[in-house]
Structure formats: structure tokens, C-alpha cells
Amino acid sequence: MALNPPLRDWAGKTVWLVGASSGIGQACADLLHAQGATVFVSARKASLLDAWVAAHPGADGQGRPRAVALPLDVTDRRALQLATDALAARGPLDLVVYCAGYYLPIDARDYRLDEMLRHEQVNYVGALYLLEAVLPHLKRQAAAGQDGHLSLVSSVAGFRGLPRSLAYGPTKAALINLAEALYLDLSVLGLGVSVVNPGFVETPLTAQNDFRMPALITPEVAAREMLAGWARGDFELHFPKRFTRWLKFMRLLPYRLYFPLIRKFTGL
């Protein structure tokens, strides 16, 4: 049974991807634009966004471009508010995706508070800033009988504690919990909410890892999985299944089994 209104026909839809200068966010932008959506992309690196826009020509029914760059820093609360207001003035937001992310492998034996807080600000607090800005608009849309969907990109690293994930994992666990609470509150209004939990995806972030990443997939594969999940009306989008199902199983194990298995499988 679908937990959300399915999102299938993207022609004429408006999508905002926050964190789309590379990786999963940019791959989703490519695919959504190819399927007819008007795509707004945000990130700190304006030059990368401008290059993406230049490579994606086309106009909507009103002659407006279907690829638009909105450079911003997700840790800037006011910037997110201004961008949201500008977007909402154009019309309904059909899909808003928070895919901004920061990752540095950190071990408790090399604890660095500044890096811990940087992860928190980008991966979690930025999502809270976005919610503050976008929820009033989405709720007004729902009251007017218009659809809207909010999707948070988390990670399987948020399932349970993992080696070298001291800073990253807790922020992703927070996003999963946040999405669950949002679903309970917003689905009754007719709004869609989903959480995306990818395994290892080949991005500039995972390029830092010096260990073998099982079931590594490309951002393009991740984007296709996400669109398929939204089309089904899923709440949780997790992939690749051959990897994420094992982690879901391990999530159920008692600690006396979980800790030794994680050490054995990761070698860390």
C-alpha cells in the first residue's frame, strides 16, 4: 500500500533540490529535467550550478527556463527563507528534496568538535532551516487542494553506529527520525513525506573512504531508484536492496551480536 500520493508524471511539475552541485542531487536534477520538470538547484558552488543550468536548456509553458540556479549555503537561515519565498511566488512546489551533505570519516580516537558541529550544521540543522521556510508554503498548498512532497536524503549510516561514522551517522539518524515524525504530522494534511537511505554511492564524499565499499552504485542509479520510489508512493527509499536489506536485518540484532559482526564485516 502506498504511504504517499505517487509522483509519476513530472511534466509541468516544479522541483527544488537543495544540495545539487554534484552526486545524488545533480543526478536527480538531470533525470527530473529530462522528464519535463522545472528544476531549481541550490548549493554553495554557484559556478557548478550555472554550468548545470547552461547544459539544460528548455522552457515551460510560460516561456520561463526549466533549469534555474539558486546558490545558497544551507547553514544560512535567511538565505533559505529568501529562496523559498522567491520559489513559492512562482507557484506550487511539487517536490522539495534536502540532499545537502557533509562527510568526513571521524574516529573517537581523533575526536574533533569543530568537525562534529560542521556535520550537524550541514546535515541536520540545514534541514531544519529549510523546514522553517518551506512548511508554511506546503501547508497552504495542501489547504488549497494542491499536492506537495518533502523528501530528506539520509543514509543507511543512520541505522546504527558504524566505524568512522562518529560525526556523520548521528546526523543521518536524526534525519530518519525527523522524517518519520514529519510523515505522521503532514500525511494527514495530504502532503507527501519520504526519507531516502542509500547505501554506498560513488560521490566526492565517499571518495574519501579508504576501505572497500560493498554494492557501490553510481549517482545515476541512485536517482533512478529515487524516482521509482516516489512513483510507488514509498515513505522509505532504500537501495541497493542487496546491501540495504542486510543492514536492516542487522538493525534488529542485539548488541552482543551486532558489534562483533560489524567489526568482522568492516575490518575496522
Question: Where in the sequence numbering do the catalytic residues fall?
Answer: 168
- Beta-carbon contacts of 216 under 8 Å, excluding residues fewer than 6 positions away, are 199, 200, 201, 202, 206
- What span, in angstroms and rounded, lies between the C-alpha atoms of 15 and 88? 11
Q: Order of strands, edge to edge, in the sheet holding 14-18?
A: 67-69, 38-42, 14-18, 95-98, 149-153, 192-198, 236-239
The answer to whether 17 touches 97, Cβ cutoff 8 Å, is: yes
Residue recorded with cell 574516529: 107
Residue from 175, 166, 162, 171 nearest 112 by CA = 166
- What span, in angstroms and rounded, lies between the C-alpha atoms of 247 and 100? 23
